[in-house]
Amino acid sequence: MKQYGKVAVLMGGTSSEREVSLMSGTGVLAALQSRGVDAHKFDPAEKPLLSIKDEGFDRVFAILHGPYGEDGTVQGALEVLGVPYTGCGVLASAIGMDKLRTKLIWQALGLPIPAFELVDANSDFAAIEQKLGLPLFVKPATEGSSVGVVKVKTAGGLKAAYEEAAKFDKLVLAETFVGGGEYTTAVLGNEALPAVKIEPATEFYDYEAKYFRDDTVYHCPCGLSAEKEAQIAADVLKAFWAIGGSSWGRVDFLMDEAGQHYLLEVNTAPGMTSHSLFPMAARQAGMSYEDLVLRILDTTLDGQE
């Protein structure tokens, strides 16, 4: 384990996803230490990021979530410090955190995405409801973990949903409902891992369902045919490549009742909690949580002797 040197597990931070990041980071830290890695907690909410260099860390396992942590900001700072880190680089992190720009890139490449509209205070809410149909989802463009997401089920509800989402971001999206199932595919290096199907007991896969509820049901294998899953995996890898993705990440997608898939969003710093999807996919591929964490950390060794 000496090849890794001293490793900072970057967790916590100041975003709305701080609590989830601390849960993810605690798991990652324990996994690394159990394998003999000289790993230590580092919370940028408690001390300056520059301390990473001052304290002699050789590399970073970045498991911050949300703005600042996975939007390219901390990645840029680590680039300036010259410290290798896990996860996507500055460009992919910035684009991946922005659902609007991600969708525009995927749309330009002809990848399947749900119909959507950008919404602001002056929008014709009734016209958007009619165009996208009901129910529909409203979400901030640059938040993760379903923070600020509202499902609009009745006519006239879009305006209030917009106002709720706008508390989190000035860019707000309205997106058509796709009701054939929620799935995700994890990407590790250049490989797509087995897809996971998600069946929340709640209205949709919200913050509580993702991290705290025990009645969300996960299926891996996901139940899709091998041919369909291979087709989706190809689109997922293309979508991840399109934003400049590297190291590891996750692409969420939806299925409609006719069996057509629609790419939803990309996560460039996936959760690593006990409820998280990436470790589930890794287990199906034959990797323990500890094996997965080391595989991710190995991506910081690329290009080194």
Active site residues: 17, 145, 211, 250, 252, 265, 267, 271
Looking at residue 21, the DSSP 8-state letter turns out to be H
Alpha-carbon distance of 13 to 130, in angstroms, equals 40
Length of the chain: 305
Residue 142 · residue 99 · CB < 8 Å: yes
- Smallest CA-to-CA distance from 183 within 254, 259, 106 is with 254
Residue 34 carries which side chain, given as an amino acid letter? S
Alpha-carbon distance of 133 to 248, in angstroms, equals 35
Strands (DSSP E) found in 166-283: 172-176, 182-188, 191-192, 196-199, 217-219, 248-255, 261-267
